[in-house]
């Protein structure tokens, strides 16, 4: 791939985010078709964000649903960066003008207490590294017009990352079967989506293990204190200014936010 095309695609996505004006598919406009090149675009914008003073706070996993993977013709999830200025807390108001065309997902967030530097991280190492879990709302957002994305487009666009909202009551993993964790997502007091932990690669722990190994291979290993958004437990829900969201999980509690 021509480095100039990768540079131009990264700039187009950065400008779309900065101006909150969508752009066309970068896969078509800049002839970017491989996952390797898409992640190269993502990495350029990650480096630019870090150079501008933003700070990594964790990672997100996308495409954890088997049905969505089959729809896009892939056999693995993708990843994106989380920055500290993307984090909101339970009950917060979210400024809609920060976003372009947002949608909400109910998820389980993992917070690490240890580094995970190895590309062959074991499940035991992951379990020891997880300090606690929290209910989380991920507000996904795409810079691509009308969400008409391919896998390459979403990867290049930082896995369609927007913002995230964390609950405030940490819960230990001990004794939990996260595959059986039920989810109810309400919008404006009405049921908008339901789901189950098993929808996330069979178990959100499996998603996090994939992420730990993948980030080590990518040269950005997970660190103590990182937040891991482990993937949607149910369908995405569009949101606009004036909407309120409330996520309830079976044993992990709840988290809410509203858009202004």
Asked if the structure places residue 174 within a domain, the reply is yes
Note whether 55 and 21 are within 8 A (CB). no
**What range does the domain containing 216 cover?**
56-259
Asked if the structure places residue 75 within a domain, the reply is yes
Distance between CA atoms of 12 and 8, rounded to whole angstroms? Answer: 6
Residue 33's alpha-carbon distances to 25, 220, 240, in angstroms, are: 11, 23, 32
Asked if the structure places residue 159 within a domain, the reply is yes
Q: How many alpha carbons fall within 13 Å on the CB side of residue 49?
A: 23
Model pLDDT, residue 34: 92
- The model carries a pTM of 0.94
Q: Is the dihedral of CA 37, 40, 42, 45 positive or negative?
A: negative
Asked if the structure places residue 29 within a domain, the reply is no
Residue ranges, the chain, pLDDT below 70: 1, 67-74
Residue 140's alpha-carbon distances to 6, 80, 137, 214, 217, in angstroms, are: 23, 11, 9, 21, 25
Asked if the structure places residue 43 within a domain, the reply is no
Model pLDDT, residue 66: 72
Model pLDDT, residue 75: 73
| Domains: count for the chain | 1
Q: What is the pLDDT of residues 223-246, one digit of tens each?
A: 999 999 999 999 999 999 999 999
CATH number of the domain that 115 lies in?
3.90.850.10
Asked if the structure places residue 70 within a domain, the reply is yes
Note whether 10 and 41 are within 8 A (CB). yes
Asked if the structure places residue 157 within a domain, the reply is yes
Asked if the structure places residue 95 within a domain, the reply is yes
Distance between CA atoms of 140 and 91, rounded to whole angstroms? Answer: 18
């Amino acid at each position: 791939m021509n480095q100039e095309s990768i540079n131009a695609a990264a700039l187009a996505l950065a400008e779309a985010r900065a101006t909150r004006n969508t752009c066309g598919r970068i896969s078509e406009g800049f002839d970017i078709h491989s996952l390797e090149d898409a992640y190269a675009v993502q990495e350029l914008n990650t480096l630019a964000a870090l150079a501008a003073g933003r700070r990594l706070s964790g990672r997100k996993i996308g495409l954890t649903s088997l049905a969505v993977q089959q729809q896009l013709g892939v056999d693995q999830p993708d990843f994106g960066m989380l920055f500290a200025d993307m984090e909101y807390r339970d009950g917060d108001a979210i400024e809609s003008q920060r976003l372009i065309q947002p949608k909400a997902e109910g998820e389980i967030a993992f917070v690490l207490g240890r580094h995970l530097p190895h590309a062959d991280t074991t499940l035991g190492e992951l379990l020891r590294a997880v300090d606690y879990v929290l209910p989380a709302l991920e507000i996904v957002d795409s810079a691509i017009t009308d969400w008409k994305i391919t896998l390459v487009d979403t990867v290049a666009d930082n896995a369609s990352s927007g913002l995230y909202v964390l609950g405030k009551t940490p819960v230990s993993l001990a004794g939990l079967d996260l595959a059986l964790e039920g989810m109810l997502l309400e919008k404006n007091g009405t049921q908008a989506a339901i789901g189950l932990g098993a929808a996330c690669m069979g178990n959100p722990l499996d998603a996090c293990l994939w992420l730990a190994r993948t980030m080590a291979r990518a040269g950005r290993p997970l660190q103590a204190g990182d937040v891991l958004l482990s993937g949607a437990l149910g369908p995405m829900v569009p949101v606009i200014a004036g909407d309120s969201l409330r996520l309830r999980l079976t044993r992990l509690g709840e988290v809410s936010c509203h858009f202004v």
